[in-house]
Structure 1
């Protein structure tokens, strides 16, 4: 495959600054191939970009309005989901909505860049790449990581902090109710809490409140 003559202009989108900064750091060694022009946390893309990489942390269900905002944005040529979840239902919904690809978080940075180049060249990568492993690629970040939460535990805690019930979390995160309960138990042990109200307070104190920030370089490169 011929590499693009100029770097792909990429926006990284999620509701948590730590998440978008982690992806940017992971892709930094590939700056000659992928130029991150925006990192948007709960803020719409305002620059012209070839691809918006939408990290589904805490918002994996495609019913979420923020996903549609990215897809409909005229400044975004292609939308790509970056997700743990690659179920047939999600793939079918992504295809129906006009999303060009759903890529698993377990792939390493080089493979992610190669996939973005294929998408930029016009390929549709839906239900082509599957990964059942919950192990994140090196460099991926999430709230509570320093405190010892796994990526999936962190996602569940984020949804608890948002006020969702166990059943709502299961639906939102494409998990069984038993898996949700298991993640909650293990997360609570790590957090040192015993109740949902304590978990919410812990989450607020440890970066689980959604934050609104846009990080962009005046010349189109992320700061």
Structure 2
């Protein structure tokens, strides 16, 4: 049953990195009369349904659409929205095919993100316009931001820290192998390392290993 009109929509956040989710949650602080974050910690059980599950794509298996399908299939999730910087047409089409109700850009200011979530809650399917390359919305956070890594660089380093090869990173992010190599060269320079092993060790030390595996408790129904 949907909540009464004029009550805040409830949103559960899904991503394995606490710093990422805290940044997203902080974006909603000024809009608590419209959006309530119902879940952020996978160690706390959530028995009630939520209006929207917001699936943050940072270092998540974007190309593994079974993750999106699992969220859509869970009766506790009334609607599922992907929150991402990656607008490859195949990713959008596959997310919609799996039943996602929205595909929203991380460049959206908080007020526009809230309005988009409200539109999804009202029954619309919302897909952001393909954004020009721009900075992520003010308030978002990610590992390595303080060390000067961009969100995309941080995501690639997180995937490398998880043990992914260049080919796997390219497949997961829908970027070309040459683009991945270019990102990796820039990452090495920014974190002052010379090898992949050094980059992985740096990543482990600086919070690039997942804090949780939040998707697991959304699989298999309530």
| TM-score with structure 2 setting the length | 0.88
Q: Distance in 2 between matches of 1:64 and 1:98?
A: 10
- For structure 1, list consecutive stretches of 5 or more residues without a partner in the other structure: 215-223
The equivalences for 1:203-222 within 5 A come to 203-212=203-212
- In the other structure, the counterpart of 2:75 is 74
- In the other structure, the counterpart of 2:158 is 158
Q: Distance in 2 between matches of 1:45 and 1:194?
A: 44
Q: Distance in 1 between matches of 2:16 and 2:101?
A: 21
Q: Report the alpha carbon displacement of residue 173 of structure 1 after superposing the two structures with TM.
A: 0.7
**Coordinate RMSD, CA, aligned:** 2.0
Deviating more after overlay: 18-27 vs 70-79: 70-79
DSSP-derived class of the 2:86 partner: coil
Deviations 1:163-220 (A, max 9, x none): 1111111110111112111111111111111100111111000001111288xxxxxx
CA 1:33/1:44 → structure 2, altered by over 3 Å: closer, same or farther?
Answer: same
For the 8 Å contact 1:79–1:101, the answer to whether it is kept is: yes
1:33 aligned onto 2:38 = no
Q: Distance in 2 between matches of 1:155 and 1:164?
A: 12
| TM-score with structure 1 setting the length | 0.88
- In the other structure, the counterpart of 2:219 is none
Q: Report the alpha carbon displacement of residue 40 of structure 1 after superposing the two structures with TM.
A: 4.2
Deviations 1:46-103 (A, max 9, x none): 4410001110001252415543332222100000000011121111101110000100
Q: Report the alpha carbon displacement of residue 44 of structure 1 after superposing the two structures with TM.
A: 8.2
Q: How many residue pairs end up in the alignment? A: 210
Q: Report the alpha carbon displacement of residue 147 of structure 1 after superposing the two structures with TM.
A: 1.3
